[in-house]
């Protein structure tokens, strides 16, 4: 997990003393945000971070996510603080159980493997069985396979352009997420999706528009497995195609506030040399996605330094030397610390 601080007014967000609790330390900031990136099944690890923050008494004001991170963010934002962790547990328990009557062969493999030594071969076999089970049967409360081949449907239809139906996810979100709570703006939720026509990321933000289950589904509509989600006449895919981590969106928000931002990194930049083909695939994804995350956080750090330098430059100018209009234009970009 990494944290970032966005500058605001002077005197805000001063470092807490050693005696201060995590909650007291976080309370010094105008805003606490939690950024959850995409990562498929790795999104389950975000739950542990959320639970640790909850136990520390840190309750974010803003949740931002992409893909599976958007789903977790919606579950958090759409429930009262005391119910958030239970809702996360409920969701992950539901989607990780095989709810089909023909699931027994895959469950039998898992039970049998429990008696075998924990070798790479056993681990690979379990992963393969789990993957085959999901491909064949879908995931309960998330997606289900279509009964007929995509080739049998009319070109351009959701059925012709995807392998699975995600209506189960819509029902799950509507049951576990209180969208009225989100839209009443007691907390803020933003999720990123990729506009298929423009190729650009689009953030659906509860501070700017009402959100519903379809907005969350759009952020997690990974092709070609899942169908695009149409919102206001535009079609969207998984936001991770463009930007897997919405950190820049949170820090660029106006007006700028002194912010404490927690970012949960699902992909490890460092790792062991692969020993099997499965290891190779996992390590490839780790490097691919962690490098994007690292680039994003490095870019944010550089921008913060430039903001700080700009502020110092303006302060060094004699009074009246900076035109009022130019000063007003530069003000939103200033940052008093990094």
Contact, 335 vs 254, CB < 8 A?
no
pLDDT category at 13 given cuts 50, 70, 90 is very low
Beta bridge partners of 237: 194
**pLDDT tens, position by position, 198-221:** 999 999 999 999 999 999 999 999
Nearest CA to 33 among 56, 71, 5? 5
Q: Give percent of the chain above pLDDT 70.
A: 82
Q: Is the pLDDT of residue 278 over 60?
A: yes
Beta bridge partners of 154: none
DSSP three-state, residue 74: helix
DSSP per-residue codes, 271-329:
-PPP-SHHHHHHHHHHHHHHHHHHHHHHHHHHHHHHHHHHHHHHHHSPTT-S-HHHHHH
Q: Is the pLDDT of residue 105 over 60?
A: no
Among all chains, which residue has been given the structure tokens 């840190």?
58
DSSP per-residue codes, 87-137:
HHHHHHHHHTS--STT-HHHHHHHHHHTTS---HHHHHHHHHHHHHHHHHH
Beta bridge partners of 36: 65, 264
pLDDT of amino acid 12: 47
| Token pair for 188 | 């803020």
pLDDT of amino acid 102: 43
pLDDT of amino acid 306: 87
Least confident of 18-27, 103-112, 174-183: 103-112
Query: What is the DSSP pairing of strand 188-195 with strand 62-66?
Result: parallel
pLDDT category at 34 given cuts 50, 70, 90 is very high
What are the structural domain ranges in the chain?
A: 1-96+155-266, 98-138, 285-338
Nearest CA to 46 among 80, 91, 79? 91
**pLDDT tens, position by position, 140-182:** 899 999 988 898 899 999 999 999 999 999 999 999 999 999 9
Q: How far apart, in Å, do the first and last CA atoms of the chain sit?
A: 19
**pLDDT tens, position by position, 217-252:** 999 999 999 999 999 999 999 999 999 999 999 988
String of b and e for 322-335 (b: at least 16 CB within 10 Å)? Answer: eeeeeeeeeeeebb
Q: Is the pLDDT of residue 129 over 80?
A: no
Beta bridge partners of 98: none
Superfamily name and number for 1-96+155-266: Cytosolic phospholipase A2 catalytic domain (3.40.1090.10)
For range 86-114, the mean pLDDT: 69
pLDDT of amino acid 328: 84
pLDDT of amino acid 99: 52
């Amino acid at each position: 997990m990494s944290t970032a601080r966005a500058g605001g007014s002077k005197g805000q967000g001063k470092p807490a003393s050693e005696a201060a609790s995590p909650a007291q330390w976080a309370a010094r900031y105008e805003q606490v945000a939690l950024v959850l990136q995409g990562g498929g099944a790795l999104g389950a690890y975000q739950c542990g971070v959320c639970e640790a923050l909850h136990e520390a008494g840190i309750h974010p004001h803003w949740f931002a996510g992409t893909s599976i991170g958007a789903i977790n963010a919606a579950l958090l934002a759409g429930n009262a603080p005391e119910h958030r962790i239970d809702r996360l547990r409920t969701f992950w328990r539901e989607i990780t159980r095989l709810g089909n009557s023909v699931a027994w062969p895959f469950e039998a493999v898992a039970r049998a493997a429990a008696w075998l030594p924990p070798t790479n071969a056993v681990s690979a076999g379990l992963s393969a069985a789990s993957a085959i089970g999901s491909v064949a049967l879908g995931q309960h409360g998330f997606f289900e396979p279509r009964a007929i081949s995509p080739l049998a449907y009319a070109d351009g239809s959701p059925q012709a352009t995807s392998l699975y139906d995600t209506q189960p996810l819509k029902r799950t979100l509507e049951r576990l997420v209180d969208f009225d709570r989100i839209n009443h703006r007691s907390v803020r939720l933003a999720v990123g999706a990729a506009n298929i026509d423009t190729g650009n990321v689009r953030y659906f933000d509860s501070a700017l528009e009402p959100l519903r289950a379809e907005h969350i589904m759009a952020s997690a509509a990974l092709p070609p497995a899942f169908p695009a989600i149409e919102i206001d006449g535009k079609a969207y895919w998984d936001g991770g195609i463009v930007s897997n981590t919405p950190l820049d969106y949170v820090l660029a928000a106006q007006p700028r506030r002194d912010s404490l931002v927690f970012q949960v990194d699902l992909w490890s930049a460092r790792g062991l040399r692969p020993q099997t083909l499965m290891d190779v695939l996992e390590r490839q994804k780790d490097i691919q996605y962690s490098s994007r995350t690292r680039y994003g956080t490095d870019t944010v750090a550089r921008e913060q330094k430039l903001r700080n330098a700009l502020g110092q430059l303006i302060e060094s100018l004699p009074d009246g030397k900076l035109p009022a209009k130019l000063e007003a234009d530069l003000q939103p970009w200033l940052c008093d610390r990094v």
